[in-house]
Structure 1
């Protein structure tokens, strides 16, 4: 548990703050393909903007806390755009796997295919 999470827990604030989901208008303005319009789209929009402005140079959107070169936005718990987006995608994947395991257990372990 980080210092920030400890302080938030002591004060009574929620330790995990989720950013608001992107609206359809924001996703359209960000020109996100339909396949990428999910619950992590709010993190992909600034990442794609950074990638576009920095000509897709891999290290430009990677710096931590203003140390790196280029546009740096520290979003969730000190993570940069790419890391926060990839973590969101991973968490969504884990939720889907857990839901599939739950459905499979309800069927008695039978596969649907």
Structure 2
């Protein structure tokens, strides 16, 4: 556990994305942008906490509605709970893919920069004109 943290602090911090900041590369470079399934007005009317307003909030709203309608029997909403859990898992996997994409793009940018610096350092000096040397 903690291998991703050790990678960030021990070595390669310049090619490791900061998980607390927004991605630095535009989203149209790789994965398609996902629209939120429920509008923010509906989520605020349902009084969902900000921590649960994600891409699976429409499943959570259906689950809460089912639990409210079938109050003494919460086990009757098992299918909706399963849908919400699987959506949360898919969302987690998608966020990890976005993080890996960001990490790979940062590594690619670092390799390109190093290659350009090496090519600039390997270029020979231009020939000097012997007639322009000061005497």
Normalized against structure 2, the TM-score is what?
Answer: 0.47
1:22-56, Cα deviation, whole Å (9 max, x unpaired): 11221122221111111111111010122233337
Q: Write 1 or 2 for the structure with the bigger share of helix.
A: 2
**If you compute each CA radius of gyration, which structure gives the higher value, 1 or 2?**
2
Q: Residue 64 of structure 2: which of 32, 41, 48 is its match? A: 48
Residues of 1 paired with 2:103 and 2:72: CA distance? Answer: 41
Is 2:110 the partner of 1:94?
no
How do 1:11-90 and structure 2 match up within 5 A?
21-55=37-71, 57-62=73-78, 80-90=79-89
Residues of 2 paired with 1:105 and 1:54: CA distance? Answer: 48
Query: Which ranges of structure 2 fall in alignment gaps of 5 or more residues?
Result: 1-35, 109-135
Aligned-residue CA RMSD in angstroms?
2.3
SS in 2 for 1:55: coil
Normalized against structure 1, the TM-score is what?
Answer: 0.55
Query: Which ranges of structure 1 fall in alignment gaps of 5 or more residues?
Result: 1-19, 63-79
